[in-house]
Amino acid sequence: MKILLQTCLFAILVSMTFVSNVFAENMKKMGAMQIHYMAINATFLTPKIAKAYNIERSRFNGLLNISVLDDTKDSTPAKKVMIQGKARNDLGQIKTLEFDEVKEGDAIYYLAQIKYSDEETFYFDITINDGKETQQLKFKQKFYVD
């Protein structure tokens, strides 16, 4: 059952990467890292998947998904990293992000949740360290209540 749920989450996350205009999936090459990231409304997950990964499925809850690939290898395998970050809104309020590591076969995802209100913009500042180098990922995302 857990493998089925993991497979479903993996399928959802992978399918989100192919519809980047809808889910704001992005990629940045930073040093030896290829960093894929997206921020979505948690209601895009099915209730079963959200429950399996302890994600609060709410109109006011966002989900950050970050994966890091090793850009020095031909097959660009997933990299295990240390990740931490903060999000600041337009009022200057800062929220510390708590990332959970999820392994799906050879894939590794780092998930964090963030509460928001309708049309709230967050400026994310994420530190990623693979033991050899540290990179600073910065991006902004506007969230909408559906």
What tens digit of pLDDT does each residue of 7-65 get? 445 445 544 443 333 444 699 999 999 999 999 999 999 999 899 889 999 999 999 99
Using DSSP bridges, classify how beta strands 100-104 and 26-30 pair: parallel, antiparallel or unpaired.
unpaired
pTM of the model: 0.82
Distance between CA atoms of 145 and 32, rounded to whole angstroms?
36
* pLDDT exceeds cutoff 90 at 97: yes
Domain 2-143 has CATH 2.60.40.3340: yes
Reported as a single tens digit per residue, the pLDDT across 106-137 is 999 999 999 999 999 999 999 999 999 999 99
The Cα–Cα gap between 15 and 9 comes to 10
Q: Where are the domains of the chain?
A: 2-143
Collapsed DSSP state (helix, strand, coil) of residue 3:
helix
